């Protein structure tokens, strides 16, 4: 959901519109466009996704390299007064929202069943990919933080766009950013609609979501997901609760899954190093989860409802 808000903010930035006013309309437009693309049956564009990954890496590297000298100079001016503004609640908030940025990295597990010698290669792939992602995010975060120290407005949804130069090359990079976001949004729409389609076949969602067109595209799931996305986006706009609240609402569900993954890792892993990593992961998980307060009711409620539906359907099938 927030992917559309981020995409909408960059589209507004590219069009020269006020981000605060036009993020919601542009986000809805992005939902409609990507749904139409999927309805047309043009979702099998794996080569585009691979190209997008390469372009993202190149752009992140270019932006970081270009801003690195200024970033170093800015951090040399940091003194103790800057740290007086740092609070534990601020660190928690930043860590919780940044957690959202890593969502999608876990999709790497989808291909684990096709990897040769998985016992050896899966840990290697995981550590290398995570190290690359963490390095890129770490450097980019330093660049963004330095820009914030200079007084630049990088706190909005299109914050990275503020790092681009106000030149023709900057405009070209912004266009590429928007195209990347559209391609990724298309992939998200494709994946979510298939999740609804599979859930309908499993009896978890209404059977009407199983309908497909002559191309085999599950149009009912796509239209349902489009309606759901737009409804939530409009609700966010009307409730005026701010993107931060909804980022946290989305993130905490994945943090719950993160905690379950840690428990599975501790149970299945052996060796002192793995156990040590697991223990530190548990500590980090408790730090992340402690600040959500009443919001934690939301993912727990969804988990209970999903479990009850699964139990009910299992009993129904057995009978």
CA distances from 37 to 50, 198, 212, 222 (A): 18, 20, 15, 10
Q: Residue 78, SS3?
A: coil
Confidence class for position 105, pLDDT limits 50, 70, 90: low
pLDDT tens for each residue of 39-77: 887 545 555 666 666 776 777 777 777 777 777 777 777
Question: Does the predicted model carry a pTM greater than 0.85?
Answer: no
Predicted local distance difference test score (pLDDT) of residue 230:
92
Work out the mean pLDDT of the chain and round it to a whole number.
78
Q: For residue 177, which of 44, 11, 5 has the smallest C-alpha distance?
A: 11
Q: What residue has token string 């998980």? A: 285
pLDDT for the residue numbered 53: 66
**Structure confidence by residue, pLDDT tens digits, 230-249:** 998 888 888 877 777 777 77
Q: What is the tens place of the pLDDT at every residue in 166-207?
A: 777 777 777 877 877 787 788 778 878 888 888 788 777 788
What pLDDT score does 313 carry? 72
Q: What is the 3-state secondary structure (H, E, C) of 71-107?
A: HHHHHHCCCHHHHCCCCHHHHHHHHHHHHHHCCCHHH
pLDDT at 153: 64
Kindly give the interhelix angle for 243-268 and 297-318, rounded to the nearest 10 degrees: 60
**Nearest partner of 55 among 173, 205, 228, judged by Cα:** 173
């Amino acid at each position: 959901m927030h992917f559309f808000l981020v995409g909408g903010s960059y589209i507004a930035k590219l069009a020269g519109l006020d981000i605060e006013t036009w993020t919601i309309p542009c986000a809805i437009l992005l939902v409609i466009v990507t749904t139409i693309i999927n309805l047309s049956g043009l979702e099998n564009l794996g080569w585009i996704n691979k190209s997008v990954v390469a372009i993202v890496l190149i752009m992140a590297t270019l932006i970081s390299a270009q801003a690195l000298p200024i970033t170093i100079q800015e951090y040399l001016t940091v003194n103790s007064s800057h740290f007086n503004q740092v609070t534990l609640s601020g660190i928690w908030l930043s860590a919780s929202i940044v957690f959202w940025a890593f969502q999608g990295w876990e999709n790497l597990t989808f291909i684990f069943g096709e990897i040769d010698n998985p016992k050896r290669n899966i840990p290697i792939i995981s550590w290398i990919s995570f190290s690359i992602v963490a390095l890129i995010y770490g450097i980019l975060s330093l660049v963004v933080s330095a820009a914030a120290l200079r007084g630049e407005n990088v706190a909005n949804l299109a914050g990275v766009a503020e790092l681009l130069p106000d030149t023709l090359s900057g405009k070209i990079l912004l266009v590429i950013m928007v195209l990347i976001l559209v391609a990724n949004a298309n992939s998200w729409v494709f994946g979510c609609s298939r999740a609804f389609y599979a859930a309908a076949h499993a009896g978890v969602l209404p059977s009407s979501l199983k309908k497909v067109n002559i191309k085999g595209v599950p149009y009912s799931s796509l239209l349902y997901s489009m309606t759901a996305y737009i409804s939530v986006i409009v609700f966010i706009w009307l409730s005026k609760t701010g993107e931060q609240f909804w980022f946290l609402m989305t993130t905490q569900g994945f943090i719950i899954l993160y905690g379950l993954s840690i428990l599975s890792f501790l149970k299945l892993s052996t060796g002192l190093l793995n156990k040590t990593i697991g223990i530190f992961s548990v500590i980090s998980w408790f730090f992340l989860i402690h600040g959500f307060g009443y919001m934690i009711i939301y993912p727990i409620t969804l988990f209970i409802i999903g479990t009850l539906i699964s139990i009910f359907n299992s009993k129904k099938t057995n009978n």
